[in-house]
Amino acid sequence: MSEAKKYPTPVTNPETKPFWDAAAQGKFMIKRCKTCGDAHYFPRSICPFCFSDKTEWEESSGEGTIYTFSLMRKSATGPYAIGYVTLKEGPSLMTNFVDCDLERLAIGQKVKVVFKPTDGAPLPFFTVV
Amino acid sequence: MTIKGKAYIAGIFEHPTRHAPDKSTAQLHAEVARGAIADAGLSKADIDGYFLAGDAPGGAWPMVDYLGLKVRHIDSTDTGGCSYLIHLGHAAEAIAAGKCSIALVTLAGKPRTGPMPPRAAGAEADFEAAYGATTHNAYGMCAMRHMHDYGTTSEQLAWIKVAASHHAQYNPHAFLKDVVTVEDVVNSPMISDPLHRLDCCVVTDGGGALIVTSEEIAKSLKKPLVRLIGHGEAMKGPRGGKDLDLTYSAGVWSGPRAFEEAGVTPQDIKYASIYDSFTITVLMQLEDLGFCRKGEGGKFVADGNLISGVGKLPFNTDGGGLCSNHPVNRGGMTKIIEAVRQLRGEAHPKVQVKNCDLAVAHGTGGLLGVRHAASTCILERV
């Protein structure tokens, strides 16, 4: 099951290193643009909406709702549920749902971030609240 | 400026194989190239433009050398399964600009024989790769949301497979030739919710090729004249996660561009080749191209509306990727080929659309539920 899964270690790069450093502290970070005011994910140094370079890190609540999901039943490592979560702060992101009954997932359910260890920085996942 | 009427598809070839463990991938490219060149009544020395995508081993350098081509125009745009639809548009641009006069487009590979090489990682890799997006679940996520927003049902999706299977029974090369029912589809094993096994396309080795040329040269050849009169291409992704909507594709942009250039509407189309990696792919593309309103695709495809001779919009009369062939997990090439067969009157008599003079070939490439491209080609028999 997903708990026993070995997750890949984030490679990281200078642009995204602050995200992974914060993840190691249990913080889930997003980027917000000071020019247009919109938050985005995954984090970029230049805003993908208005192309301003005035983006800054912001700690997300880590809370959101399930936009969609699919329970993948044909997998060598066991079933897993991929989906998109829409964060309270606005952006939607791809994730896996873990530590919950995957057969009972539903669009609109409330979820929150949980981190899972890798050999490097921990990876964000989501679980049903 | 327009490419309308500037390029003609003078040669087509679909490899008859569906499993080729005894051949190399480069060899399959050469075999489909030979087939298309022969179909056009040309020789290799006539080729002065070459279009290839990520399935061609090593890219342009080794392929041009391996095939022994001497070209003055090269385009290796790779947008996954719709690469070849984009190549057709780009070939028309190159021909219109005088950069080449006889273009070869090839696709070939062997996913049935063995695993495909991995794709290079993009900027998103650390933030997505661990979550295991595959074709099945990425399209499953689209279907799940489409059902949620519009009430689309598994039974409606199943009708798309049923229609494809009705066509495939007449194709001697089809990988799956048996006619299936809605019940067969919805009772097949769940692969990635809500997509069942029979909602998925086949995995086949093989390939296909095109010869694209100018009006003057096409008219000097013997095949019925089929030309490109409209082309569109577009891309879509999560775009920083703002306003995520997985119920539509980049086809909402590529389609209208192509129809506008061609000066026709979806209602004028006699035959449609629609990329069918999964049943949901077809349903969303039909909506995005304007064959019905967004959210009404389920009603549109039900009750055999896509079956030739039965419904209003005959689609994928070769059996498509759902039943016949999906070489290299890239369906764009075979979409063009069957559209040309229909326009030439060379489709199987049981599925040939009467007086078929206007067709669309459309596809997506990449993952519909993640990031993808789309391309639309409007083709006309002259």
SS (H, E, C) chain A: CHHHCCCCCCCCCCCCHHHHHHHHCCCCEEEEECCCCCEECCCCCCCCCCCCCCEEEEECCCEEEEEEEEEECCCCCCCEEEEEEEECCCCEEEEEECCCCHHHCCCCCEEEEEEECCCCCCEEEEEEC
Angle at B195 between CA B192 and CA B201, to 5 degrees: 105
| Alpha-carbon separation of residue A69 from B46, B175, B188 (angstroms) | 51, 31, 20
Do B219 and B275 belong to one domain?
no
User: Position of tokens 């497979």?
Assistant: B161
pLDDT at A4: 59
Tokens, residue A61: 């609540």
Rg (CA), chain A: 15
Question: Using an 8 Å Cβ cutoff, are A102 and A128 in contact?
Answer: no
Domain-embedded: residue B213: yes
Question: In chain B, which residues touch A (CB < 8 A)?
Answer: 123-134, 136-138, 140-145, 148, 189-195, 238-242, 244, 246, 369-370
Q: What is the pLDDT of residues B67-84, one digit of tens each?
A: 999 999 999 999 999 999
Do B194 and B108 belong to one domain?
no
Domain-embedded: residue B292: yes
Do B215 and B269 belong to one domain?
no
Confidence of residue B253 (pLDDT cuts 50, 70, 90): very high
Domain-embedded: residue B1: no
Domain-embedded: residue B22: yes
Collect all residues of chain B within an 8 Å Cβ-Cβ radius of residue A119: none
Do B291 and B213 belong to one domain?
no
Domain-embedded: residue B2: no
d(CA B231, CA B360): 10
Interface test with chain B among A31, A51, A94, by most B beta carbons within 10 Å: A94
Cα B30–chain centre separation: 20
Do B186 and B263 belong to one domain?
yes
Whether A85 and chain B come into contact, CB under 8 Å, resolves to no
Domain-embedded: residue B31: yes
Q: What is the pLDDT of residues B12-41, one digit of tens each?
A: 999 999 999 999 999 999 999 999 999 999
Strand partners, B9: B212
Q: What is the pLDDT of residues B82-103, one digit of tens each?
A: 999 999 999 999 999 999 999 9
CATH code of residue B90: 3.40.47.10
Q: Residue A127 CB: number of other CB atoms within 10 A?
A: 14
Confidence of residue B119 (pLDDT cuts 50, 70, 90): confident
How does DSSP assign B193-257, residue by residue? TTEEGGGBPP-B-EEEEEEEE-HHHHHHSSSPPEEEEEEEEEEE--GGGTT--TT--THHHHHHH
Do B19 and B87 belong to one domain?
yes
Phi, psi of B224 (to 5 degrees): -55, 145
Q: Is the peptide bond before B194 cis (omega within 30 degrees of 0)?
A: yes
Domain total of chain B: 2
- Please tell me the distance in Å from A129's CA to the nearest CA on chain B: 20
Q: In the predicted model, is pLDDT for residue A2 greater than 80?
A: no
Q: What share of chain B is helix, strand, coil (3-state, %, to 5)?
A: 40, 20, 40
For chain B, what is the mean pLDDT?
A: 97
Do B82 and B140 belong to one domain?
no
Instruction: Identify the closest residue of chain A to B126 by CA–CA distance.
Output: A10
Q: In the predicted model, is pLDDT for residue B356 greater than 70?
A: yes
Q: What is the pLDDT of residues B255-301, one digit of tens each?
A: 999 999 999 999 999 999 999 999 999 999 999 999 999 999 999 99
Whether A42 and chain B come into contact, CB under 8 Å, resolves to yes
Q: In the predicted model, is pLDDT for residue B185 greater than 90?
A: yes
Tokens, residue B181: 């029912």
Q: At what angle do helices B60-67 and B25-40 cross, to 10 degrees?
A: 60
Q: What is the pLDDT of residues B334-352, one digit of tens each?
A: 999 999 999 999 999 999 9
Do B187 and B91 belong to one domain?
no
Do B190 and B309 belong to one domain?
yes
Residue at a domain's end among B167, B189, B224: B224
pTM to 2 decimal places: 0.97
User: Position of tokens 């090439």?
Assistant: B333
Do B177 and B317 belong to one domain?
yes
Cβ contact B195–A41 (<8 Å): no
Tokens, residue B91: 């070939």
pLDDT at A1: 44
Q: What is the pLDDT of residues A94-107, one digit of tens each?
A: 999 999 999 999 99
Of B131, B143, B242, the CB nearest to A82: B131
Print the domain residue range for B282.
134-201+228-381
Confidence of residue A82 (pLDDT cuts 50, 70, 90): very high
Cβ contact B132–A73 (<8 Å): no
Do B103 and B194 belong to one domain?
no
Do B282 and B170 belong to one domain?
yes
The highest-level CATH class for domain A10-128 is mainly beta
